[in-house]
A and B are shown apart, each in its own frame.
Chain A
Amino acid sequence: MIQVKNLQKEFRIHQARAGLGGAFRDLFSREYKTVKAVNDLSFTVEEGEMFALIGENGAGKSTTIKMLTGILTPSEGEIVINGYVPFKQREEYVRSIGVVFGQRSQLWWDLSPMESFRLLKSVYKVDGTEGDKWLDRLIEELEINSFVSQPVRKLSLGQRMRCEVAASLIHKPRLLFLDEPTVGLDVLVKQKIREFLRNLNETENMTILLTTHDVSDIEALCKRVLVMDKGKLIFDGLLSDLKEKWGNGTEVSFQMKKRTPADELRKTLGEMPCEISQVNEYTISVKVPQSQEMLPFVLSTVMSTFEVSDVKIMETSTEDIVRNIYQVDTGVRGHA
């Protein structure tokens, strides 16, 4: 369904000279730097897959999505989606995709989401009764019925985001792009949206591509992950592989009732391959490598041996994973 080959996007960025004098010189001649936002990207996606594109800010995720949706023209390389070349056949291609921009709205700010839905139905030539039924289903599953007739400017971020998702799906696209959709949302709303997307993928076989900073988004939704860094694709595979190979595992922070030195914990856990460090006199953190059994074992052992007042569990972050990929995998050449 999606075929990307050797995709490149370069930007020529004007380097502003410093100070007032420099600014005057810039009037006459400018200095430019060429930045490769996307560098030789290739991957293939089958229909019905749900996958995530992750990486730090500036890694090239948004630029990639913009090229996939036809907003940006690639400098080099090929993209074929659903038989279309996005930037060449944009208006036809776009009928088959839906896009949710986390940071920008598709809805008319002054009107209710319902009005926007009506207009979009017209724009996308959505068929009468079928379209209505589909929209009703969207409204129901996203639970937006209670506020879908209120002006958008009066909605909370969580409410608005759900309406944005609905708006992007009105024409029942075969492919859905979501660019950072869960930024700023609270846990409950995130869950609702994730469940909805999962359901959509299962019942309608919709291909879904998600970019995000939030590893838990991916955990909940995608099996397949593409990791980008500095414009390059540094990992393309299953999430479980990603975490096993390059995750730091999990870090558990125990807050004890009594002062406890780290050595005591070490004694209890014996030969367990985990990193123990003393955060302060009452708090010890244990880094547990990725494994199904180790985490519960560590938890139960420590908590049965010591009097624990609080436990904090921290997952590996995307930055950690990316960092690890560079450190561990000598086959991937990162930045010079």
Chain B
Amino acid sequence: MHKLYMELIRMRFLTMLAYRVNYYSGIIIYAINIGAYYFLWGAIYGGQQQLGGLSVEQMTSYVAIAWMSRAFYFNNIDTEIAQDVREGKVAIEMIRPYNYLSVKTAQAFGEGIFRFLFFAGPGIFLISLIIPFHFPATATGWGLYLISLMFAFLINTQINLLTGLFTFFLFRNDGMMRAKRVVVDLMSGLVLPISFFPGWAQTVMGFLPFQAVNYYPSLIFTGAITPGRSWELIGFQAIWMVVILVPILILWRMARNRLVVQGG
């Protein structure tokens, strides 16, 4: 089994390397995104030193790391699952001797590592030539961040699996998937640190898993919170991971029973 997953990850690597145009434009796009946000936030801060609990320096590293994190946790398995369902390939996947969902997760993991190291990495490098970023100085800082990032990946992937599973019951839900992507980008803390939101919104979002996807790891990275608090956040992530697992398993069972395949 272990070999299977390693192989899947390797396949994803190969797939992503195979298309040069995508690769190079991907790096440039990352650089542009990070750079643009840096300036945007610079303009927003204006002369102020502190906003939403973050100083200017912390904000810039927040921006950089938020995008790097996204490079890792982001994946398209919701649309991939949707496509498999629509094309009827999912029936074949069901009779294979592996768990379809774990395989998808492994693929997403491979994709994430690749994007993190080879897209965001060079992208950040490029842009850091122009912009001074602040990265955590301690090993603990990095360690905590990486642990949190791993959880973030799992939670985001679970959300995507869930969305993908809905296709079994809704067929053409690509409108919903598009909206979900935008909503997640906002509520995960990618475009706005959650601390910026008004109090009532923050309370509501406390009940949703999205901020665990980007806000927590990015916050840990910027060093704006204590290690103790960092562990607390990681704890929350672990809880969310377990919580979301439940509907996934339920839906998966329902989906297998109700295999209505479209087309073909």
Direct A–B contact present (CB less than 8 angstroms): yes
Q: Assign chain B's interface to a size class.
A: under 10
User: Does A32 touch B at the CB level, under 8 Å?
Assistant: no
Inter-chain contacts of B92 with A (CB < 8 A): none
> Could you tell me which residues of chain B, from 210 to 264, have a CB within 8 Å of some CB in chain A?
263
- Chain B residues 1-39 with CB under 8 Å of chain A are 10, 13-14, 17-18, 20, 23
Residues of B contacting A24 with CB < 8 Å?
17
Chain B residues near A16: list those with CB within 8 A: 18
Which among B13, B17, B263 is the interface contact of A26 at CB below 8 angstroms? B17
A153 in complex: contacting residue of B13, B20, B23, B263, CB < 8 Å: B263
- The number of residue pairs between A and B whose CB atoms lie closer than 8 Å in the complex comes to 19
* A side interface size, CB within 8 A: 9
Q: Does A109 contact B (CB under 8 A)?
A: yes
A residues in contact with B13, CB < 8 Å: 20, 23
Asked whether B18 lies within 8 Å of A109 as measured between CB atoms, the reply is: no
A154 to chain B, nearest CB (A): 10
A13 within 8 A of B: no
Report the Cα distance A97→B225, complex, angstroms.
71
Q: Are B10 and A20 in contact (CB under 8 A)?
A: yes
Q: Shortest beta-carbon distance, B6 to chain A, in Å?
A: 12
Q: Does A27 contact B (CB under 8 A)?
A: yes
In whole angstroms, how far apart are the Cα atoms of A31 and B39 in the complex?
A: 41
B20→A109 contact, CB < 8 A: no
Interface residues of B in 186-227 (CB under 8 A from A): none
Q: Give the docked Cα–Cα distance between A16 and B15 (Å).
A: 11
Instruction: Give the residue name and chain of the A residue nearest to B262 (CB).
Output: A153
Is A23 a contact of B18 with CB atoms below 8 Å? yes
Q: In the complex, how many angstroms separate the beta carbon of B21 from the nearest chain A beta carbon?
A: 11
Instruction: Pick the contact of B14: A23, A30, A109, A153 (CB < 8 A).
Output: A23
Residues of A within 8 A of B14 (CB): 20, 23
Q: Contacts of B10 on A, CB cut-off 8 Å?
A: 20
A27–B20 CB distance below 8 A = yes
CB distance from B28 to the nearest CB of A (A): 14
Known contacts A20-B10, A27-B23; A109 and B17 CB within 8 A of each other: no
A23 to chain B, nearest CB (A): 4
- CB<8 Å pairs between A and B, sample of 19: A16-B18, A20-B10, A20-B13, A20-B14, A20-B17, A23-B13, A23-B14, A23-B17, A23-B18, A24-B17, A26-B17, A26-B18, A26-B20, A27-B17, A27-B20, A27-B23, A30-B20, A109-B263, A153-B263
Q: Which 8 A-B pairs have the closest CB atoms?
A: A23-B17, A23-B14, A153-B263, A27-B20, A20-B13, A27-B17, A27-B23, A24-B17
